Amino acid sequence: DGEISYTITAQQGNTQLKEGAATQSYGYNGSILGPIIHLRTGQQVSIQTENELDTATSFHWHGLEVPSNVDGGPHSPIAPNQSVNLEFTVNQEAATLWFHPHPHGETAEQVYYGLAGLIYIEDDHSDSLAIPKEYGINDFPVIIQDRLFDENNQLNYSTAYSPDGTYGDTLVINGTINPYVDVKNEKIRLRLLNGSNARNYQFHLSDDTSFYQITSDGGFLNEPIPMESLQLVPGERAEIIVDLSSYTMGDTIQLMTGDVPVLTLNVTEESTEEDVPLPTTMNTITHTADEVSPDKKMTFSGMGNMVTIDGKQFDMDRIDLQAKVGEKEVWEIENTRHMMGGMIHPFHLHGLQFKVLNRNGAIPPENERGWKDTIALYPGESVQIEVDFPEKGLFMYHCHLLEHEDTGMMGQILVE
Ligand code: C2O
Ligand code: CU
Ligand code: CU
């Protein structure tokens, strides 16, 4: 599988999203979002990261199992006009991951203006599975973000900002509005990323037929899970298969969230391939739901500017937790309910993929019994996860509602 190298440059640009003047935006190697970084398990990777913004940024590889000097958290800012070369080996299975900035206190704004991209890891196993894999033909990236445009159709983070999450009234999908693709009547694979600052989505199909979820954040599920609706919180990914094999020319089906179309699939061509059933076994992840006494406990609480983990806000000079490489631990994460009812905090941990053991003592839904790096914590809920760090270093855990993260709903764990 050898070696591969990429150059990823954060830059300012202008993007035509709505009528009128193009909006100011940020992108990687372009004016908005970024290229897909294609990696293979076992590969040696070198990424030249360059900052052409007029402010510091960092390059974080969300979901990638890398040492902390490569992880690109708030300890690794890159000043304007500076570049840093990163080298690592891909040590994990096929998955759809993503990358985004992580500078201390500035993550939400930089993501809002457009800094985000996808990472596809493939391996021999994913090559061998009978699933759609022709990019742009039957395998599509779908980055879902909501944005607010001002009266001049510009993105303006400071006027859109809200401490409990910056929300928009317009869906921007892969950096466009109202996207559609022309497809054949065959199985279509959509690689969904909730790249929004704060919004949770509940996806379904316009004709309410079921689809199959085939991956969680960190790789394939054991088997395709039939679903009629799928929730993704900020930072989460899922690949789904929409089976259009019984549709005919001229049919249209939409991926929706609530009443709002996310992506329109127009069936415009007859498939000439034989329709192959989805594989029945895609992975061999063992799962036990037993509640155990946790090695670590943490509590997410508060709203607005009062959000905390264990009563504290992030301090770059404080190490909150410690762990050892290769020593499995169970963490119990609680989201306290409060007078206002509370809210979902998307919990994310750097440096590894973890397993969700149980939610409030019950086995998690089937589509969460795979590798995860981001999960919804519902108000009043306690979730147990199993963590096993593969690399040493200092790693972040935080709320992936980006305004909460920037306010300080984040801690750090030193792994030795
Ligand atoms: Cu997706 Cu700490 O980030
Ligand atoms: Cu991350
Ligand atoms: Cu939060």
Find out whether the beta carbon of 356 lies less than 6 Å from any atom of ligand 1. Answer: no
- For residue 381, how far is its CA from the centre of ligand 3 (angstroms)? 14
What's the CA gap between 336 and 361, in Å, rounded? 16
Q: What is the mean pLDDT of residues 41-48?
A: 98
User: What is the arithmetic mean of pLDDT over 41-49?
Assistant: 98
CATH: 3.40.30.10, 2.40.50.140, 3.50.50.60, 2.60.40.420. Which one for 3-126? 2.60.40.420
Nearest CA to ligand 1 atom 3: 62
Mean pLDDT for 122-148 is: 98
pLDDT in tens, 273-329: 999 999 999 999 998 777 789 999 999 999 999 999 999 999 999 999 999 999 999
Q: What average pLDDT does the segment 131-138 reach? A: 98
Q: What separation in Å is there between the alpha carbon of 133 and the centre of ligand 3?
A: 35
Residue 4 CA to residue 40 CA, distance in Å, equals 9
Q: What is the pLDDT of residue 1?
A: 63
- For ligand 1, whether the C-beta of 100 sits within 6 Å is yes
Asked whether 235 lines ligand 1 (CB < 6 A), one says yes
Ligand nearest to the CA of 352: 2
CATH T-level fold of 139-269 = Immunoglobulin-like (2.60.40)
Q: How many Å lie between the centroid of ligand 2 and the Cα of residue 63?
A: 6
Overall average pLDDT of the 243-267 stretch: 97
- Pinpoint the residues of the chain covered by CATH 2.60.40.420: 3-126, 139-269, 296-415
Select from 226, 234, 224, 228 the least CA-distant residue to 192: 234
pLDDT tens digits for 81-97? 999 999 999 999 999 99
| Residue pLDDT, tens place only, 324-347 | 999 999 999 999 987 677 899 999
Contact 170, 225 (CB under 8 A): no
Contact 60 CB / ligand 1 (< 6 Å): yes
DSSP characters over 95-124: EEEEEE---TTTHHHHHHTT--EEEEEE-H
**Amino acid at site 405:** E
Sign of CA dihedral 393, 394, 398, 400: negative
C-beta 398 within 6 A of ligand 1: yes
How large is the ipTM?
0.99
Q: Which fold has domain 296-415?
A: Immunoglobulin-like (2.60.40)
Q: Per-residue pLDDT averaged across 378-400, rounded?
A: 96
Measured in angstroms, how far is the CA atom of residue 40 from the centroid of ligand 3? 33
Dist CA 304 CA 45 (whole Å): 39
> Strand pairing partners for 332?
297, 384
> What DSSP letter does each residue of 381-406 carry, written as one string?
-EEEEEE---S-EEEEEEESSHHHHH
Q: Are 297 and 310 in contact (CB under 8 A)?
A: no
Map residue 158 onto helix, strand or coil: helix
pLDDT per residue as tens digits for the range 145-194: 999 999 999 999 999 999 999 999 999 999 999 999 999 999 999 999 99
> How far, in Å, CA of 75 to CA of 347, rounded?
20
- Protein residue with its CA nearest to atom 1 in ligand 1: 62
> From the CB of 359, is ligand 1 less than 6 Å away?
no
User: d(Cα 278, Cα 321) in Å, to the nearest integer?
Assistant: 42
Cα-to-centroid distance, 45 and ligand 2 (Å): 18
Pocket of ligand 1 contains residue 62 by CB under 6 Å? yes
